[in-house]
Structure 1
Amino acid sequence: MRTRLAIRIHAAMERLFPERRVFLKSDEDTRFVRLRPMTQLLIGAGMSAVVAWAIIATAVLLMDSIGSGNFREQAKREQDMYQDRLNALALERDARAEEALAAQQRFNAALGQISIMQSELLASETHRRELETGIEVIQATLRDTMGDRELARTELAALQAEQTTPGTAQTSNSGSPAPINFMADALAQTANERDQILENARHALERAAELEHDLKLKEEQNDQIFRQLEEAMTISVAPLDKMFRTAGMPTDKIIEQVRRGYSGQGGPLTPLSFTTRGEDEPTVDELRTNRILAQMDLLNMYRIAAERAPFASPIKAAVRYTSGFGYRRDPKTGGRRMHNGSDFAGPSGTDILATADGIVTHAGWQSGFGRLIKIQHDFGIETRYAHNSRIRVRKGQRVSRGDHIADMGSTGRTTGTHLHYEVRVNGTPVNPMIYIKAASNVFEEQDKRTGLKNDR
């Protein structure tokens, strides 16, 4: 039996949802469907639930779209700022490279001036020694002449004494005038020669003093040039050493490897010697010069090594840095996956450049990478350039830093036009930005040092 509550509920439902009939008429028959109050209530509740779900889902989608739009705009602004920074760093790097080339040219000119000054110093030293020898000869001659003069005076005094002695007056009066005149002339001539020798000696001493003064001035100029060259070498070598160490590359092994493979004409710089007297002990100038030459040799080794390591950006045009090295959400599957390089997005056909000297070991299609280029460099380093639209090199070709090797594209497993750039050391992937940032940080620090030096 139904309770009163059930009866009341049923009566209320009949008032709100009275029983309805839906007639279905055909050519042969007419039928109807009875819609009870409970059935109408269930249908209404279902429709209300569907409408509410649609409203809620629409609101969620709208809010998500607005939020994702703001996030994309913020990410795009950050990417644009980072790309502007990369472009500025690239311009600064090029400017520093030009300044380094100009400094190298100035250094070569200064080294030429040093060679000329050393030649002048050697000539001055030789001339000074000749003057010293001449002065010694003049002094010896002067001493002999003064001795002869004293001897002549002694003989003259003896003759005068004999002339004034009694008993010999006749002999002296008849035979002394000629010897006396001869001795007087000899003494006068000796005195003139002595005066001339003294005058010559005085001029020689004055000339020697002038040469010594000029020699001191040249030594001061030489010392100043040495100091400038030593400072230039320190400023040039230290940032390069820091650049390699920042990239995790052992500088000692790298320099040794470059030195073993050195094939330039003339070989490494050899020590110089400025002495012509066969002395075993080197002079201070020789030690400083050979130390500068050793630093020049080290700087040259660093320059060769820097050309063979990927301390450069593969793109010079305006691009966006879209993905870095490390684990990330895979754009295709959505799962977590290791990303072995850095991605730079830009217009299709953007020039792709080699980041260091090397040999192309692969130039063709590879699954997932599309059109791929592999370049083998020294020190066990390999760089990879993937998803290219066009390849401009061939396998076995030797390339140099800055060579145009490919055009940016979207071949292979990709969601858009970009360059996938990898750096591998002995087969192990490493973060490419380590090398790019190492070079840019060194240039920034060098700019600060240059500014401080100019302020001083």
Structure 2
Amino acid sequence: MRTRLAIKIHSFLEHRFPERRVFLKSDTDTRFIRLRPETQLVAIAGMVLLVSWAIVATAIVLMDSIGAGNFREQAKRDQMTYRARLNAISDERDNRAEEALAAQSRFNAALAQISMMQSELLTSETRRQELETGIEVIQTTLRQTMTQRDTTRSALEQLKANTQGESAAQAHAATAPVQMDFLSSVLSDTAAERDQIEADARQALEQRAEMELELELLNERNDQIFRQLEEAVTVSVTPLDKMFRNAGMPPDRILEQVRRGYNGQGGPLSPLALSTRGEEPTADELRANQILNKLDQLNLYRMAAQQAPFATPVNLGLVRQSSGYGYRRDPKTGGRRLHKGSDFAGKTGTDIFATADGVVTHASWQSGYGKLVSIRHAFGIETKYAHNSNLRVKVGQRVSRGDHIADMGNTGRSTGTHLHYEVRVNGKPVNPMIYIKAARNVF
């Protein structure tokens, strides 16, 4: 069965692709290459695949070129927006970190001075120990010399008593003064060297006491600097921490989310490098790293606060709050209904501002809301600005806190000129005044 099928396939291919021969002729020989139908089929199929791939690749390149041309302007606009926002964030971060940089510089200078004084103190201690060792050696040598002198005197007396004959007595009497003079000279030099070493040791001890006093004063100044920095950081961080807690936003989770999404390049608030030789960090190093961690936390708090609606959508001096969040009597139907936001009444055309950084997700008419602007923020938060008379943003546009996004009006389901302001967290409405009141003691 297989043989018949193979024969039929071969006959079909031979009919469509008859066998061909390519002759190769040289001066002395002629050869040929036989191209079977199967070989021709494989070659044609390969060429078709190659041409198809070239066509598809060319089409993709052309489509990318056309798409790049269409998106180039949008990319430029987005780049300008991103650049402006990054510049604003960078300026704010630099302003907030200026005092921390100055404090860190003073702290580094103090640490360098402490290190230098510690080195000098160690050198003085080593010198004192060397001097003490030298004094002990000299005293030992002196004792040995005095013992030798006493032994020599005893031997000399013994020699005088036992010596017989006048010539021998005269010879020993002549050499004894020379030996005594030599011993006296050696003892005098040894005593002078001992006195000099003792004087150097006393001077070294006095220098050590002075350096210890100076080191103690320096430690007191450093402790004062640390206390001032710790108080300043606490005063800055505590209101921000309280603001997030009052808004029902767990600070630990919020800071971790901001830290994961932050793409900044390094910074001046990196922890101090500790010893790599297995030494325990000093109390000053631990204290400095705690301050730097607090400053880093403060920076993250500032970034998180910029992305959450801790602001008012209108200038409170030009408007009044006409209605709050919660159940109330519906002004249209008279029934009881949940009011999902806060209303601020004012004049037509009053400026309305974005309350946090975000992206515009809606900027057009919506039933009931009239002309509506919706902005998506970080942490699953969305804000809505309804009943406007004029919209000043478009869908997809990035906005920053304080940007003018709309003008107050009376469009949609409204009984008068006002702004209906909503805050939604993960799609559920919450009281906007929670965020506004939480930020009053901070911004």
Asked if 1:432 corresponds to 2:432, the answer is: yes
Checking the alignment, whether the CA contact within 8 Å between 2:361 and 2:375 is kept in structure 1 is yes
- For 1:323 and 1:418, the matched residues in 2 are separated by 10
- For 1:177 and 1:353, the matched residues in 2 are separated by 111
Q: 1:207-233: CA deviations, max 9, x gaps?
A: 111111222222233333333333333
Distance 1:182 1:388, change over 3 A: farther
Q: 1:158-187: CA deviations, max 9, x gaps?
A: 344444441364233333444443433333
- For 2:377 and 2:426, the matched residues in 1 are separated by 11
- For 1:355 and 1:172, the matched residues in 2 are separated by 114
The Cα of 1:157 is off from its aligned counterpart by 3.2
Match of 1:89 in 2: none
- For 1:268 and 1:196, the matched residues in 2 are separated by 52
Match of 1:299 in 2: 298
* Greater length-normalized contact order (CA 8 Å, ≥ 6 residues apart): 1
Match of 2:350 in 1: 350
Checking the alignment, whether the CA contact within 8 Å between 1:163 and 1:173 is kept in structure 2 is no
Checking the alignment, whether the CA contact within 8 Å between 2:101 and 2:268 is kept in structure 1 is no
Match of 1:123 in 2: 116
Asked if 1:315 corresponds to 2:314, the answer is: yes
Checking the alignment, whether the CA contact within 8 Å between 1:163 and 1:169 is kept in structure 2 is no
Q: 1:311-342: CA deviations, max 9, x gaps?
A: 11112352111121223344444444432211
- For 1:156 and 1:134, the matched residues in 2 are separated by 32
Checking the alignment, whether the CA contact within 8 Å between 1:321 and 1:343 is kept in structure 2 is yes
Distance 1:103 1:255, change over 3 A: closer
Match of 1:146 in 2: 139
The residue identity in structure 1 corresponding to 2:222 is N
Q: SS in structure 1 opposite 2:205?
A: helix
Match of 2:104 in 1: 111
The residue identity in structure 2 corresponding to 1:130 is T
Distance 1:229 1:384, change over 3 A: same
Distance 1:103 1:376, change over 3 A: closer
Unaligned segments of structure 1, at least 5 residues: 1-99, 445-456
Which segment drifts farther, 195-204 or 266-275?
266-275
TM-score normalised over the length of structure 1 = 0.67
The number of residue pairs the alignment matches comes to 343
The residue identity in structure 1 corresponding to 2:143 is E
The Cα of 1:204 is off from its aligned counterpart by 0.8
Checking the alignment, whether the CA contact within 8 Å between 1:162 and 1:172 is kept in structure 2 is no
Distance 1:268 1:422, change over 3 A: farther
Match of 1:183 in 2: 183
Distance 1:347 1:177, change over 3 A: farther
Which segment drifts farther, 213-222 or 423-432?
213-222
Match of 2:31 in 1: none
Asked if 1:371 corresponds to 2:371, the answer is: yes
The residue identity in structure 2 corresponding to 1:393 is V
- For 2:199 and 2:402, the matched residues in 1 are separated by 72
Match of 1:193 in 2: 193
Match of 2:59 in 1: none
Asked if 1:250 corresponds to 2:250, the answer is: yes
Counterparts of residues 387-426 of structure 1 (less than 5 Å): 387-426=387-426
The residue identity in structure 2 corresponding to 1:306 is A
- For 1:267 and 1:253, the matched residues in 2 are separated by 22
Greater Rg by CA: 1
The Cα of 1:424 is off from its aligned counterpart by 0.7
The residue identity in structure 2 corresponding to 1:364 is S
Checking the alignment, whether the CA contact within 8 Å between 1:370 and 1:413 is kept in structure 2 is yes
Which segment drifts farther, 134-143 or 403-412?
403-412
- For 2:169 and 2:351, the matched residues in 1 are separated by 122
Q: SS in structure 1 opposite 2:439?
A: helix
Checking the alignment, whether the CA contact within 8 Å between 2:243 and 2:439 is kept in structure 1 is yes
The Cα of 1:250 is off from its aligned counterpart by 2.5
- For 1:192 and 1:322, the matched residues in 2 are separated by 99
- For 1:365 and 1:197, the matched residues in 2 are separated by 97
- RMSD between aligned residues: 2.9
- For 1:171 and 1:158, the matched residues in 2 are separated by 20
Match of 1:137 in 2: 130
- For 2:254 and 2:222, the matched residues in 1 are separated by 34
Counterparts of residues 215-234 of structure 1 (less than 5 Å): 215-234=215-234
- For 1:321 and 1:210, the matched residues in 2 are separated by 69
Counterparts of residues 41-60 of structure 1 (less than 5 Å): none
The Cα of 1:285 is off from its aligned counterpart by 2.9
Checking the alignment, whether the CA contact within 8 Å between 2:313 and 2:354 is kept in structure 1 is yes
Distance 1:169 1:274, change over 3 A: farther
Checking the alignment, whether the CA contact within 8 Å between 2:423 and 2:430 is kept in structure 1 is yes
- For 1:365 and 1:262, the matched residues in 2 are separated by 35
Q: SS in structure 2 opposite 1:363?
A: strand
